[in-house]
Amino acid sequence: MAEAHDYKTIGTRPIRPDGVDKVTGRALYGADLNLPSMIYGKVLRSPHAHARIKSIDLSKALAMEGVYAAVSGADFPEAKHGEIGGEGGGDVADLAKNVMARDKVLYHGHAVAAVAAKSLSVADAALEAIEVEYEVLTPVLDLLEAMKEDAPLLDDHCFTKNLPETPDKPSNIAAVMQLARGDVDEGFAQADVIVEGEYNIPMAHQGYIEPHACTATVNEGGQATIWCSTQGHFEFRSMTAKMLNMEISDLKFIASEIGGGFGGKTVVYLEPLAVLLARKSRRPVKMMMTREEVFRATGPTSGTHCRIKVGAKRDGTITSATAWLAYEAGAFAGAPMGPGAMSIFAPYDLENFKIEAFDVLLNKPKVAAYRAPGAPQSMHAMEVALDDLALELGMDPIDLRMKNAAGEGTQAPYGPKFPQIGFKECLEAAKAHPNYTKPLPEGAGRGVAAGFWFNVGMQSSAEVHVNEDGTVTVIEGNPDIGGSRASMCMMASETLGVPYEKIRALVGDTESTGFSNVTGGSRTTFATGMAVVQACEDIITQCKARAAATWGMDADQVDWKDGQAVPAPGVNADVTPLSLADIAAKAGRTGGPLLGRASLNAQGAGASFSVNICDLQVDPETGKVDVLGFTAIQDAGKAIHPSYVEGQMQGGAAQGIGWALNEEYIFDENGVMENAGFLDYRIPVASDLPMIDCHIVEVPNPSHPFGVRGVGETPIVAPLAATANAFRAATGVRVNDLPLSPPRVLSALD
Amino acid sequence: MARVVFPEHLLQHTGGEREIEVPAADFRELLINLERRWPEAGAVLEKCAVAIDGQIYQDAFLEPLEPDSEVFFMQRIEGG
Amino acid sequence: MSKIKVETSINGETVEFLCEPQQTLLEVLREDLSRLGTKEGCGTGDCGACSVLLNDRLVCSCLVLAVESEGAEVTTIEGIAGENGLHPIQQKFLEHAALQCGICTPGLIVATKSLLDRNPNPDEKTIRYWLAGNLCRCTGYDKIVRAVQAAAEELAHPA
């Protein structure tokens, strides 16, 4: 592993290659493709949270002037079962029913029909002309009520998975999970201090600024082209193919620029509908969700109810811990309770613990992945409990965490022993950070919390083309959601020894590059980066052979150094080094164009830990919480482009602070979300936040050529508890539930 | 012999066995041996992630095993 | 529904179009005139992604009817860069990595221009309050505020 100072490009902060288009309005996002004779698709959504569909009559809508097509669940082929990826994934048959309801609607806003018309206003009028008859059913809206045996059922065929014996009665509990080690009772018996708590966090949304949008065309041969905003166009292709019973080769997906996703754009909502409407109308169909539709009908993350109990000795050693974690799945199975359970105790070396987790159906939107899915909710419970424990013990909260911190060789709660990880380094950096000890204003409080995410590898493809003048084009299959083209170009630059400015990266469509899993799981810089490095190494191998051919040598007599082919050490040859440009210019006579390729299933993603410090102040009159300072400390393994690593840390902090202080789905007694807009679902604005200080820890991941761990998800984990703990420090009052919005704060301080 | 450990939620597929020793030179062979032992479990185990000696693999199919390797089956993680 | 004829100026160019009375300026810009740089994030005036200048006033184009642009001067993100390339605000957004996904960036740049045209030397608090109508979900605003400060500095003292 080379040391940081050996790198020429890695660790610098160049301008991203797609930047100019994004600051001038030229970059094209999901809603930005207009085609000749294009029409507009709109979705009719259920006014009920739980109802049986008795009939749907599209005829009046179809008879309207300017309406070209209308579809309902009956236009879909029978849903086939099969798994699809992601923490918001699940069964493809469920996904199909989420895209368009069949016999039942399961949440307010569930799609029941769609139309395509010449204008948005005609499409809206056509939706009103569709007649749907419902038999309204009792909605299941409370998480703990939904788990009861006598609760109304969403799905009569849902039998709880992972129980020792398959149950004979259906349930809203779709699955359970348990992790345990040691003897928790014995552990609690050894404890000098025990803390306990119950923590509720409501459903929250990713809040990406770009609503879902796509444009689809289908030709008379049935071949479809879909332009859309997605975190993974290959996976959108596969979902759409399964749902519409099409061959994958008949579907071409082009990923537009993506205006934020955070996990929410890993599953399809509009794309299969647009294909159906385009096929029926024989015209290009553009579909764009409104913000209200995004809130009501896409995938937020689970509301949760967590119970936790932690026991420790006087010196801070944790002797036992238990957790009971219920996650709302929404309308279909697939809440992120697994990763929630696996992450809750991950930062700590525990001998005795027991974790139970539940995936619970209820009449709310089907959850999708949201940045470190499941971890912010469960780890909020643990990190708040540790704060209580530190108080009881009179211990510094960072010291308490250090006392129990996992390190290399610690057996993780989810099974394996950790390889090299950077949690202790993060704790040390937090303890030493000036922001941890600087004086607080009168009445303010400071809180700390730790965060963790696994990170993943998965499949990626990359191609590297050396152009005739020696400039380089990198083609990847991962939509660039936050600057990844820059990091790909930097890794290519470092590997090839070619200046960064001479390299451009583009995101290929599904027909022009190899399969790649989603931009998610904090995997792109790690896994796709690894593919780019390998494709560059392929180029170097070819260049050495080309130089050898030019010089009349064997390939093993040639080295690649600083972007040039040179004779290997000890090879005595009177030749001028050949640069990439030299070799490219004469590639025709040494074997044709230079094209490097790599595809892989990247293993060995490195876990990323964090520690956050939050300073805040509470206005006792209004209940408003002001964050005065926030410090994010995280192990990145190696920061390829530090500005974009900081950007992830700062953006995750802001999202986590918003979740802690204001963001929540508020449902009425009929299951109608009451705050489906940015005015009432209040995400942080510029004046809500201070500057967010970042400290990047670099404990390299030995599995990546430059040590990358992946950084995108961990940043959202710790802010929830860091904020909650700072609130307690500021007010002396512990509030276990989130968000700490003015009404909750006022009633707590009362 | 690789030491193989199953989490709680897979015990229904292993007849309650939490930990076993299996002879296998690589993960592919390990899967074959486990499927031979529990024919019903193959499809489930194939979809799990595993940690081999601490390193997590979403797809370990081709990974070699040492005689004293520790193999933990776990839920697959994908993330947002 | 009969359409209404509107004549307006977009980025200094006279533009005539026909629109329905209920159509917003945003919808006409994007769907009828293919000026796609102005983005829609909410359609209710809460996110600022559709910010444009209407007679030099910063507005959400989703809250302006297209017919209201009759005789007006509209400046969109496409009108910010000049013949000599990027505007300093755009350059500083790039240098400071003040965008991740980039969907809020056109609106933020238009809003920043409006701020700096009025107040060439805003302090951090002024910047944060002026930009409070422009939501960004990726950056946490830190790098945006720094980019605006740097742009103000650059405009006051061109390098």
Residues of B in contact with A234 (CB under 8 A): none
Chain C residue with the nearest C-alpha to that of A292 = C42
User: Region A22-31: what's the mean pLDDT?
Assistant: 98
Q: Which of B61, B6, B1, B2 lies closest to B28, judged by CA?
A: B61
pLDDT attached to residue A165: 83
SS3 category, B65:
coil
pTM above 0.80, yes or no: yes
User: Region C90-101: what's the mean pLDDT?
Assistant: 98
Instruction: Say if the Cβ atoms of A416 and B70 lie within 8 Å.
Output: yes
Q: Is the pLDDT of residue A232 over 80?
A: yes
**CA quadruple A715, A717, A721, A724: dihedral positive or negative?**
positive
B1 to chain A, minimum CA–CA distance in Å? 17
CA distances for A154 relative to A92, A141, A191, A296, C112, angstroms = 18, 11, 43, 18, 49
Among the partner-chain residues A32, A481, A643, the one whose CB lies closest to the CB of C97 is A643
For residues A538 and A598, the answer to whether their CB atoms sit within 8 Å is: yes
Parallel, antiparallel, or unpaired for β A458-466 and A472-476?
A: antiparallel
Among the partner-chain residues A264, A371, A415, the one whose CB lies closest to the CB of B72 is A415
d(Cα A620, Cα A294) in Å, to the nearest integer? Answer: 34
Q: How confident is the model at residue A611 (pLDDT cuts 50, 70, 90)?
A: very high
Question: Which H or E run includes A388?
Answer: helix A375-393
Residues of A in contact with C131 (CB under 8 A): 685-687
A609 to chain B, minimum CA–CA distance in Å? 15
Instruction: Say if the Cβ atoms of C34 and A653 lie within 8 Å.
Output: no
Q: How confident is the model at residue A87 (pLDDT cuts 50, 70, 90)?
A: low
Residues of A in contact with B57 (CB under 8 A): 603-604
Q: Which of A451, A408, A491, A347 lies closest to A701, judged by CA?
A: A408
pLDDT attached to residue B55: 83
Residues of A in contact with C43 (CB under 8 A): 290-291
Condensed to tens digits (0 to 9), the pLDDT of residues A179-226 reads: 999 999 999 999 999 999 999 999 999 999 999 999 999 999 999 999
A687 to chain B, minimum CA–CA distance in Å? 28
CA atoms within 13 A on the CB side of A712: 29
Residues of C in contact with A259 (CB under 8 A): 39, 41, 101-104
What are the residues whose beta carbons fall under 8 Å from the beta carbon of A92, sequence distance 6 or more?
Answer: A79, A80, A81, A82, A83, A84, A239, A242, A243
Mean pLDDT across chain C: 97
pLDDT attached to residue A377: 98
SS3 category, A532:
helix
A478 to chain C, minimum CA–CA distance in Å? 13
What single-letter amino acid sits at A552?
A: G
**Sequence-ordered strand ranges (E) for A391-507:** 445-453, 458-466, 472-476, 503-507
pLDDT attached to residue A79: 76
For residue A313, count CB atoms less than 10 angstroms from its CB and return exposed for 0-12, middle for 13-18, buried for 19 or more.
Answer: middle
Instruction: Say whether residue B78 is in contact with chain A using an 8 A CB cutoff.
Output: yes
CA atoms within 13 A on the CB side of A336: 34
For residues A44 and A130, the answer to whether their CB atoms sit within 8 Å is: yes
pLDDT attached to residue C134: 98
Residue for token digits 């937020």?
A300
Instruction: Say if the Cβ atoms of B79 and A89 lie within 8 Å.
Output: no
Q: Is the pLDDT of residue C1 over 70?
A: no
d(Cα C109, Cα C90) in Å, to the nearest integer? Answer: 7
Condensed to tens digits (0 to 9), the pLDDT of residues A549-580 reads: 999 999 999 999 999 999 999 998 899 999 99
Q: Is the pLDDT of residue A283 over 60?
A: yes
User: Backbone dihedral region of A661: left (phi > 0), alpha (psi from -120 to 50 degrees) or beta?
Assistant: alpha
Q: Which of A738, A24, A711, A98 lies closest to A367, judged by CA?
A: A98
What single-letter amino acid sits at B24?
A: A
Helix axes A397-404, A423-432, angle to 10 degrees: 160
d(Cα A594, Cα A596) in Å, to the nearest integer? Answer: 7
Q: How confident is the model at residue C158 (pLDDT cuts 50, 70, 90)?
A: confident
pLDDT attached to residue A1: 40
Instruction: Say if the Cβ atoms of A342 and B74 lie within 8 Å.
Output: yes
Q: What angle do CA A531, A534, A540 make, to 5 degrees?
A: 145
CA distances for A73 relative to A79, A92, A278, A688, C5, angstroms = 10, 15, 16, 44, 41
d(Cα C12, Cα A221) in Å, to the nearest integer? Answer: 45
pLDDT attached to residue B75: 86
Among the partner-chain residues B12, B57, B79, the one whose CB lies closest to the CB of A603 is B57
Q: Of the given ranges (A238-252, A399-413, B3-17, C52-66), which has the lowest mean pLDDT?
A: B3-17
Condensed to tens digits (0 to 9), the pLDDT of residues A291-344 reads: 999 999 999 999 999 999 999 999 999 999 999 999 999 999 999 999 999 999
User: Region B49-56: what's the mean pLDDT?
Assistant: 88
Length of chain A: 750
Residues of B in contact with A165 (CB under 8 A): 12
Among the partner-chain residues C22, C90, C127, the one whose CB lies closest to the CB of A24 is C90
User: Region A469-498: what's the mean pLDDT?
Assistant: 97
C71 to chain A, minimum CA–CA distance in Å? 24
Size of interface A-C (CB pairs under 8 A): 189
Q: How confident is the model at residue A2 (pLDDT cuts 50, 70, 90)?
A: very low
pLDDT attached to residue A123: 98
Q: First CA to last CA across chain B, in angstroms?
A: 37
pLDDT attached to residue C106: 98
What are the residues whose beta carbons fall under 8 Å from the beta carbon of A579, sequence distance 6 or more?
Answer: A470, A563, A564, A565
A206 to chain B, minimum CA–CA distance in Å? 10
B5 to chain A, minimum CA–CA distance in Å? 8
Q: What's the complex ipTM?
A: 0.98
**Position with higher pLDDT, A437 vs B16:** A437
Q: How confident is the model at residue A89 (pLDDT cuts 50, 70, 90)?
A: low
Residue for token digits 């259906």?
A170
**Mutation for A interface: C40, C123, C138, most A CBs within 10 A:** C138
For residue A742, count CB atoms less than 10 angstroms from its CB and return exposed for 0-12, middle for 13-18, buried for 19 or more.
Answer: middle
Instruction: Say whether residue C4 is in contact with chain A using an 8 A CB cutoff.
Output: no
For residue A157, count CB atoms less than 10 angstroms from its CB and return exposed for 0-12, middle for 13-18, buried for 19 or more.
Answer: exposed
**CA quadruple A384, A389, A392, A394: dihedral positive or negative?**
negative
Instruction: Say if the Cβ atoms of A415 and B7 lie within 8 Å.
Output: yes
C and A in touch (3+ CB pairs within 8 angstroms):
yes
Mean pLDDT across chain A: 96
Condensed to tens digits (0 to 9), the pLDDT of residues A45-78 reads: 999 999 999 999 999 999 999 999 999 999 999 8
Condensed to tens digits (0 to 9), the pLDDT of residues C108-138 reads: 999 999 999 999 999 999 999 999 999 999 9
What single-letter amino acid sits at B65?
A: L
Among the partner-chain residues B16, B56, B78, the one whose CB lies closest to the CB of A416 is B56
d(Cα A504, Cα A489) in Å, to the nearest integer? Answer: 6
For residue A190, count CB atoms less than 10 angstroms from its CB and return exposed for 0-12, middle for 13-18, buried for 19 or more.
Answer: middle
Among the partner-chain residues A16, A258, A683, the one whose CB lies closest to the CB of C137 is A683
Dihedral, CA atoms, A678, A680, A681, A684, nearest 10 degrees? 70
Q: How confident is the model at residue A90 (pLDDT cuts 50, 70, 90)?
A: confident
Q: How confident is the model at residue B40 (pLDDT cuts 50, 70, 90)?
A: confident
Condensed to tens digits (0 to 9), the pLDDT of residues A476-488 reads: 999 999 999 999 9
What residues 16-75 of chain B have any CB closer than 8 A to a CB of chain A?
Answer: 16, 47, 51-60, 63, 70, 72-75
CA distances for C122 relative to C48, C114, C118, angstroms = 20, 12, 9
What single-letter amino acid sits at A91?
A: D
Residues of A in contact with C81 (CB under 8 A): 24
d(Cα C147, Cα C89) in Å, to the nearest integer? Answer: 7
Chains touching A (at least 3 CB pairs under 8 A) are: B, C
